[in-house]
Amino acid sequence: MSGIGQALRFDGATKSYGEMVALQPTDLSVEAGEFLTLLGPSGSGKTTLLNLIAGYAEPSGGSLWIGSRDVTRLPARHRNIGMVFQSYALFPHMTVAENVGYGLTVRRRPAAEIARRVEAALQLVELAGYGARPIQNLSGGQQQRVALARALVIEPDVLLMDEPLGALDRQLRRNVQLELRRLHEEHRRTTLYVTHDQEEALILSDRVAVMRNGRIEQIGKVADLYANPANSFVASFIGESNLLEARLVSQEAGRAEVEVPALRRHVSALAPARLTPGETTRLLMRPEHLFLDDAGPVEAMVMEVVYLGELTALRLELPAGERLWLRQLTGETVARGATIHVNWQDEHLRVVPIA
């Protein structure tokens, strides 16, 4: 990050629509030059938070600061915010250059300055020479780049992106994700990005805020969220996970012994959160941390074999009926319906609170 301080801060900001609470009291700081992704299911409050920043909605309580300015009641037109929507919201009757320069035109900038800045923005998104083309002659990926150039050309204090790649096919989406990451690494513009796609969050973000029911469940670097989820919801939303019901037997020095009915045994696992003996919790077993072992302690039946190229995923059914995913390097063939034995290393297991 750029190290020049906070670009954005929420102090207890809330948003309600009648009795419906869209955003619960939220404290959030975003550093200048940071790429923060808001990740969560539909209705979790991601877009509400973005709309508060943009000025499209006003907080019901608390305050919002952009840099050193309190913008809580400041109209959208007086905030220097760039916005990229999922629908792109381009003007079909305008050329590429006219679309990109629209924000500068309404700000009544001189024509020569508009032309110069539009060309620079198109070069930035690798669309140099496209200025005279009609919007309808562009592909979806090119239109997305025009929308991004339009947001960047005004040199916003904060760039907001609301599921901007949702309309693209998988391969194009991946290409544009990598392009967005390249642009951010080169220019370090403060960016808040909304998505429900965890893979997209992993590729793009400096930090990720996992949201649910109008609140931030956990915020941190992607690797930290994956390795140290705060609860079962975050564990299930970041990466693939197996979550088995467990009961705490004892806990000491960051580790716990839990009884796991599905495994028919006690298991030792990491447990950073303080739990109460007898409390029902969840044992997190990532699919890549399970492995086949003829001497393994747990027997399972192979219900599905999913070839993923370099990796193969096995869906397993335990004797008690619970199902697990195991992921391994593609190699020795395992047949559907086969009975196998599963093992793990205790240092990879984790106990997480139910949420």
Helix (H, G, I), strand (E, B) or coil at 1: coil
What band does 160 get if pLDDT is binned at 50, 70 and 90? very high
Judge if 6-232 and 240-289+297-352 fold alike in CATH terms: no
Compute the distance between CA of residue 59 and CA of residue 23 in angstroms, rounded to an integer. Answer: 9
- Per residue in 274-320, pLDDT (tens digit) is 889 999 999 999 999 999 999 999 999 999 999 988 999 999 999 98
Alpha-carbon distance values, 283 to 185, 245, 258, 287, 317 (Å):
37, 6, 8, 13, 17
Look up residue 33 and give its DSSP letter. T
Compute the distance between CA of residue 177 and CA of residue 351 in angstroms, rounded to an integer. Answer: 33
- Per residue in 207-255, pLDDT (tens digit) is 999 999 999 999 999 889 999 999 999 999 888 899 999 999 999 989 9
Helix (H, G, I), strand (E, B) or coil at 225: helix
- Within 13 Å and on the Cβ side, how many CA atoms surround 84? 29
- Beta strand segments in 296-349, E: 298-307, 311-317, 323-329, 339-344
CATH of domain 240-289+297-352: 2.40.50
Compute the distance between CA of residue 284 and CA of residue 244 in angstroms, rounded to an integer. Answer: 7
Length of the chain, in residues: 355
State the pLDDT at residue 166: 76
User: pTM of the predicted model, to two decimals?
Assistant: 0.86
Place of tokens 């006690």: 266
Neighbours of 246 (CB within 10 A): 29
State the pLDDT at residue 1: 39
Compute the distance between CA of residue 238 and CA of residue 207 in angstroms, rounded to an integer. Answer: 13
CATH of domain 6-232: 3.40.50.300
Place of tokens 């102090």: 11
Please give the structure tokens belonging to residue 136: 């309808």
The answer, yes or no, to whether residue 2 has pLDDT greater than 70, is no
Residue extents of the structural domains in the chain: 6-232, 240-289+297-352
